[in-house]
Structures are given as structure tokens and as C-alpha cells.
Chain A
Amino acid sequence: MPKKKVKKVVNKENIRHDGRKLSELRPIKLEVGILGNADGSAYIEQGKNKILAGVYGPKEVHPKHLALPDRSRLRCRYHMAPFSVQERKSPAPSRRDIELSKVIREAFEPSVFTEYYPKTSIDIFIEVLQADGGTRCASITAASLALADAGIPLRDLVSACAAGKVDGRIVLDLNDKEDKEGEADLPLAYMSNLNAITLLQMDGMLTSEEFEQAINLALEGCNQIYQLQKEALKAKYVEVKETMNEGADEQ
């Protein structure tokens, strides 16, 4: 039987199937404060990913027995819309949704000053409208902005990005195709100013050298995302200031 020729995801010139270089992020668009009813909100588009994040709190915990006497309870729900993937996804929380909710919550626990508001809860809701790989990282990036938008005290913004191995090469910010056909995936969440990793997972096989290389690449990606996050938070206020200045010039 003749060997079937497989089209490579990364070609010989180190260009990926979507035209990116090995260490290039997908284009990212961030918006803050786009939902009127939530206390804080943010929206992210990272490549084909489209994710909304909303935050409530701190507020009284319901049911009451869940309240913690010494700190605020962080709760997180990661949910994929039925239309977010090619084949309809059941809207009921799957095993994967529940796991991601947990790891995302744990990625925020070092960032939020939960001890400031004992016996309250801070609820994070993440809705994936369209998924194309790396949604947990994009969700963390968006939810961190939503927390900041809600005015919740934070040690630092959390930015997240994945690195991985595809066709024998270490690449940054894998999309769905690369994730499925690649050899390894390493999502990482990071607080840039405090230099602290808050989430690190790995799926697949990497040698220890490759692992180190992938971590460094992911950290670099996180730093880039961090700058975008800061810009997004400031954008809302800078805009008002600029229109003001223009108005003043006219006068």
C-alpha cells in the first residue's frame, strides 16, 4: 500500500499552515466593559476564538454555607456555547468544562486579594462563543480583564498563552488544528510584573530541553499579551481624555 502523503502543519521554511511564524501569536483583540449588567466584563478575539467573560462580586454567598470565614470564595464557570464548535456541543457542562472551570479558578487565586472580603463570593462566568484551540488561555486573559474592570483588587493581571510541539518544532499559541495534529501542548498562565506562573499544564511528550524551550516561548507570549491587556484597560479612559483634549483645542 503506498504511503499516504500527509500535508504538514508546519512547512520546511518554518511557516505554519495559517501563515504564522513559529513564535508568532494569533491576532488579538481585547475589549473591556462591554456588558451593562455584570459588575465587570471583557471580550477577547484571539484568532478565531471569541470569548466573553463576566464578573460579579464580591457579594453575599448563596448558598450561605459555602461562605469562607477568612476570605472570599472564588467561583468560576467555563462554558462553551452549543454553536462554538463544528458539531453542536451539548450545553450541559461536560467533564472538560468542569475541569477547565477548576483550573481557571485556580489560575486566579494567587492574583485576587480574596482575604480583603471574607464571607463573600466573586463569580467569574466565561462563555466561549467560538472555539479554535487555546480557549482556556484566552478565557484567562479575558477574565483577568473582567476582574480588573469590576474594581476587584488584584496583585497583577494574569495573561495566558500556550506553547507546544508541532511537526517536531516548538511553536507559540497553537490553534485547533495544531493542537490536534501536534505532539504536545503546554498552556501557561503568568503574572508578568510579579514573575509568577499561576497555571501550567502539559499534554503530550516533550524532552526536558524542549519543555524548557516551550516554557520560555509561552512566557514571551504572555508578556506580549500582558501589554495588550494593559492597553485595553487604559483604552476606555484614554479615549475620553482624547476627545476632551480635542474639544479643548476647538475652544
Chain B
Amino acid sequence: MPVFYERRQLVTPGDLLADNNYLAGENTFKENGKIYATHTGLVNYENRNIYVMALRSFYAPLVGDTVIGKVVEVILSGWIIDVKAPYLAMLRASDVLERSFRPQIDDLPSMFDVGDIIIAKIVASDRTRGPLLTVREPGLGKITRGQITEITPTKIPRLIGKKGSMITTIKKEVGCQILVGQNGLVLVSGKSPKDERLAIMAIHKIEREAHTSGLTDRVAEMIKTEKHEKTEVRRKDAQEKSQKSG
């Protein structure tokens, strides 16, 4: 039962991972009884299932995912939304209206217009049509404030952490709201743009160092030192100012 790599070892596309007796999991494929990797990533196995955690990928829509998207077009009975997936998503007017759509009365651009950012949930996704979205749940709908940042979708689980440990660390340390779209877009809204920038900095640190361990502590530390430095600078500035005026 040969396995050619240890757990959490870095592999590249085409690397031979295992011989027969194993099942080809995520980001792998089987040919002539041999399992190869299709992505650059960390190899892992559970029982007989061997898979690769990709280090970079694009978003593949899944039913039930919460995503953040941009309205790219208003069509007759709904909107076309870009959710950073290979396919453009669709949001139906009847879904927002909670009744059937009446073209004579309903003015779609007044609800969502081109360029608006919305947070939505995927209700259907198959290969014959693009994913279908809904905003008919609390917390979904148009985004009016905050900043959006983008990370590669495979790093989303790392950003959230075990039972949300990573994300709560950032929220607590920075003191802001973070909404994570499964498609790699993250909404950060805090009391000031400065807080938001700090949170975004932390998020990008996680993306860069996702494949290393002990990250939660390092992120918490980084936020603390950053905050400290900023208050120091501010204090110094204030002192200088008072000295000048005095």
C-alpha cells in the first residue's frame, strides 16, 4: 500500500500520490490505478481517502454557501451577479419581492443597480445553468458600508479557523464586524477605516501564511503590536504638537 508522501507535504500537479487501494479525493485524479495530484497543495489522507488541500484555486459554487457578489447587469426579471466563479450567478426579482414579478410596477434598478455589492446565498447550482442566488434570509442583501478584500477561496477555512477561532480573534482584537463569503470575498466593517485596514492586513497575513502552524497566536500578536505602535505614534504626534504650540 505505498503512499509516496507524508501528511502535509507540498505537492505539485502530476505528482504520484499513491498506488491502488486508495480513493482519489479532492484535487486528485486516478489513472491506471494510480493517484496523482491536480493542484499545488498539501497532501493529506483519512482512512483510504487521499486528497490535496490546494494552496490556490478559484471558487466552485456550492449549494448553501454564503457569497459576496457584484451586480453586473439588470435583466428583465432579475440581476446577473458576479461571484468570482467560472459562471455568472442569477438573482431573480421574485426572490427579492417575495411575490411574483410584475414588470409594469416593479423597478429593478431601484432595488439593486449595476455596481452594487450584495451578500447572498446559493440555492441551486448545476452545470447546465449558472448558480441561482437568494437574499431571502436575515443578514443577506445589499452591502452599504465597510471594505471588501479578496483572498483565494481555499484559504477561507483557515481564515475562519477551528470553530471560528481565527475569525473571532480578529473580531475581538480589532473590534469590527467581518463577513466571510465562501467565494473569497470578505467584508470588513468597523468603527473607523483605520480599524478596517488593520483587519484586512491580518486577513492577508493569514492568506500568505495559511500553510504554517501557530498562526492564530501570531495574528493576535501582530494586531496588538500594530495597534500599540499606532497609539504610540499618535501620542508622540500629540506631544510634538503641544510642544510646538507651547
Binding site for B on A (CB under 8 A): 39-40, 57-60, 113, 117-120, 148-157, 191-194, 229-230, 233-234, 237-238, 240-241, 244, 247-248
Contact = CB atoms under 8 A, between A and B. Distances in A.
Contacts of B211: 237, 240-241
B56 A58 contact: no
B219 interface: no
> Could you tell me the dominant secondary structure of chain A's interface residues?
mixed
Given A154-B38, A240-B212, A58 B86 contact: yes
Interface residues of B, number: 30
Contacts of B116: none
A247 B39 CA distance: 28
Contacts of A238: 10
Contact of B58 (A58, A241, A244): A58
Contacts of B15: 193, 230
A234 B88 contact: no
B57 A118 contact: no
Contacts of A192: 14
A248 B57 contact: no
A11 to B, nearest CB: 39
A157 B214 CA distance: 32
B36 A113 contact: no
Contacts of B160: none
B16 A60 contact: no
Contacts, number: 86
Nearest to B217: A251
Contact of B86 (A57, A154, A237): A57
A203 to B, nearest CB: 29
B39 A151 contact: yes
Contacts of A248: 214
A151 B56 contact: yes
Interface in B174-229: 208-209, 211-212, 214, 218
A155 B13 contact: yes
A138 B40 CA distance: 21
Given A193-B36, A241-B212, A148 B152 contact: no
Q: Which of B13, B39, B57, B208 is most buried by chain A, counting CB atoms within 10 A of its CB?
A: B13
Given A154-B14, A192-B14, A120 B209 contact: no
B45 interface: no
B170 interface: no
Interface of B: 10, 12-16, 27, 29, 31, 36, 38-40, 54-58, 86-88, 127, 152, 154, 208-209, 211-212, 214, 218
Nearest to A242: B212
Contact of A151 (B10, B36, B57, B88): B57
A186 B86 CA distance: 37
A119 to B, nearest CB: 8
B126 to A, nearest CB: 11
Contact of A153 (B38, B209, B214): B38
8 contacts: A58-B86, A59-B86, A153-B38, A194-B36, A237-B211, A240-B209, A244-B212, A247-B218
A122 to B, nearest CB: 9
Given A117-B86, A234-B12, 4 more contacts: A148-B13, A191-B14, A194-B36, A230-B15
A248 B221 CA distance: 13
Contacts of B31: 155, 194
A118 B38 contact: no
B14 A151 contact: no
Contact of A234 (B29, B40, B58, B209): B40
Contacts of B29: 113, 153, 155
A241 B213 CA distance: 9
A155 B29 CA distance: 8
